[in-house]
Amino acid sequence: MNVITPHLLDAARQARLHAHAPFSGFCVGAALETHDGQIITGCNVENATLGLTICAERLAIFKAISEGHRRFDRLAIVADTAEPTPPCGACRQILWEFGGDLEIVLGNLLSETARFSLSDLLPHPFDRRLLGQGDG
């Protein structure tokens, strides 16, 4: 069962409302679609040290993993920006390791702004292949 992308963007918009961003004011929501059609959400949560901040994308994937999900189809990310806001480098690495070549749907408060495959955003990923442990 596939979720229609507008519903995934709506879930990311709702998750964004729970963001804790008192330092940057930059609130982000993410909605991860599991292979069986469930939606797991996340929002960014800032910390005073900023280095311990967690992005919405990583929160969604860690939450999904902690709930037993292992296969994912797409991720929607929403921020209040006119331009597309792709995941940061740390998120791209985590998404690759746990989700593979996901479809990444970017949006703002009103509409979809861009769509990529994760391999477009992270063309040369570091993964288990490089550790001599088989396929990535």
Does the active-site annotation cover 57? Answer: yes
- The active-site residue out of 57, 83, 103, 112 is 57
Q: CB within 8 A of 129, min separation 6: which ones?
A: 135, 136
Cα angle 35, 6, 20 (rounded to 5 degrees) comes to: 85
- Exposure string for 38-61, b = 16+ CB within 10 A, e = fewer: ebbbbbbebeeeeeebbbbbbbbb
Q: Is the dihedral of CA 77, 123, 115, 62 positive or negative?
A: negative
Report how far apart, in Å, the C-alpha atoms of 58 and of each of 18, 53, 62 are: 15, 10, 6
Residues with a known catalytic role = 57
